[in-house]
């Protein structure tokens, strides 16, 4: 019996936090994020090489809807954020 499964039909999500929507989507790329604080509010941002700008998100590792300002490879899949070590 043929056991091959079309990869494109599989969506894998790994829940690793009790706080929604913090899950990883293995179909989506993972981008490094850095934390910053503006007006006392903590944000995470990730550099998008397609939009050539920072995309800002709420803090927390996991999957995000792409904040791309144009159609990019991230638009369909979104991306996962993973906190990178900061400068300090």
Q: Which residues bind Zn ion (CB under 5 A)?
A: 48, 50-51, 68
Q: How many CA within 13 A on the CB side of residue 55?
A: 23
Q: 34 forms bridges with which residues in the sheet?
A: 45
Q: How far is the CB of 57 from Zn ion (least distance, A)?
A: 12
Cα–Cα dist 1/10, whole Å: 20
Q: Among residues 51 and 82, whose Cβ is nearest to Zn ion? A: 51
Phi, psi of 37 (to 5 degrees): -120, 130
Q: Tell me 85's DSSP state.
A: P
Q: Among residues 46 and 62, whose Cβ is nearest to Zn ion? A: 46
Q: Among residues 48 and 81, whose Cβ is nearest to Zn ion? A: 48
Q: How far is the CB of 2 from Zn ion (least distance, A)?
A: 39
Q: How far is the CB of 69 from Zn ion (least distance, A)?
A: 6
């Amino acid at each position: 019996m043929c056991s091959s499964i079309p990869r494109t039909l599989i969506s894998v999500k790994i829940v690793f936090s009790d706080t929604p929507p913090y899950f990883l989507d293995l179909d989506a790329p993972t981008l490094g994020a850095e934390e910053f604080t503006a007006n006392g509010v903590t944000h995470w941002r990730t550099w998008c090489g397609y939009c050539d700008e920072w995309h800002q998100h709420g803090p927390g590792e996991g999957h995000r809807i792409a904040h791309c300002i144009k159609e990019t490879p991230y638009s369909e899949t979104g991306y996962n954020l993973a906190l990178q070590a900061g400068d300090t």
